[in-house]
Amino acid sequence: MLSKPIRATLAVAAIVFSATCGAQAQDPQKFYQLQSVVELGGSGTSWDHIDYDQTKKLVYLSRRADGLTVVDANNGKVVANVANAKGTGSVAFAPKLDRGFTANTDGSTSVFKLSDFSPVDRISFGDNFDGVVYDEGTNILAYQQADNSRELLVDAATMKLATTIEVEGDQLERPTLDGKGNLYLPLRDKSAVYKIDLRAKKIVAHWDVSEKCTEPSGADYDAATDRLFLGCRGKQTNPQLVVVDGASGKTVASAPIGRGVDDVIFDPATKLIYTANGLDANVVVYKQGDGDKYSLSEAFSTRAGMRVMRLDTETKLIYGMTADYTVDPSKKNLAAISPFYPNRIFPDTFVMLTYGRGAPAK
């Protein structure tokens, strides 16, 4: 089980996975397969997060140099390229304000109307941004300013800076919210998590999770059990899904996943936890049981480099993004991630991928 030593954990996971593979031959409709590919084009050199408007069924793809692309999930058509959003790495939605807010690499945020995607403003808060999330209960936008080791809290209604929170490290990953006014911020280079009270606008806990989780790079939260799910790269030799008590910071479970994890998604309805693992080109899925017990549900292949994803909680479709790439020996390589981490993206190869259960419709 997951609370036992890693060797035992791997053995159990292997048993569960073997049983799953056997079941697949009998009932392929239970398992995820590639359903469709939307070609996005573009000449940019990188991409970052995907965000999803569940109500309108719109997929927002942050492609930095290529800006922010919006795809209608119902038909796979591009419906907008948001103006004045070059450099975006993620986007947050405030439906009651009819506003979307991007986090741009130059430290600005592009504000636009959700109703028609028209630009409202582009406001600078410094020289770098890595991500943004919005908490409706506090009306706070939380921006990660990793290069400056800061979390910026901004009032979404006025777009005024509410406070700046200094943190350790310079690899701030995408945080998650608990719906109760708290934000959980993973620090990849410090193998730690900050719990930030958005109402008090201060850090209320700082947890070292390095015993089981090194390089946390993705997070999600389960309100029913007060559990924080962390995707941990483990220096790419021991990648793990780690489960942390949201009140105490204690690690309560862990399980192996693929290399190059970025996004982690928890579905409260099915109790499934998804991890997108770009280096191993797979999504590993675990089932949450009682008493902090987790079992492997499946592990399905994706296209190489698909490290970000979003889930439609109604259809259970998963949306991912990647592009064709190579390793150019003449260019700098992020060897700390992988000896062969891609450093050259081929133009016009960006795609949005949709995965769903069962064979694709013909």
Q: Please write the tens of the pLDDT for every residue from 216-266.
A: 999 999 999 999 999 999 999 999 999 999 999 999 999 999 999 999 999
Look at residue 9 in the predicted model and tell me its pLDDT.
39
Average pLDDT of the residues in 281-303? 97
Model confidence at 334, pLDDT cuts 50, 70, 90, reads: confident
Average pLDDT of the residues in 138-153? 97
pTM for this model (two decimals): 0.91
Rg (CA), the chain: 19
Whether 11 shows a pLDDT value over 60: the answer reads: no
Q: Which two tokens stand for residue 259?
A: 């290399």
Look at residue 19 in the predicted model and tell me its pLDDT.
37
Under DSSP, is residue 23 helix (H, G, I), strand (E, B) or coil?
Answer: helix
Q: Please write the tens of the pLDDT for every residue from 180-207.
A: 999 999 999 999 999 999 999 999 999 9
Of the CA atoms within 13 Å of residue 305, those in its CB half-sphere come to 21
Strands 50-53 and 32-39: unpaired
Q: Please write the tens of the pLDDT for every residue from 101-135.
A: 999 999 999 999 999 999 999 999 999 999 999 99
3-state percent breakdown (helix, strand, coil) of the chain, nearest 5? 10, 50, 45
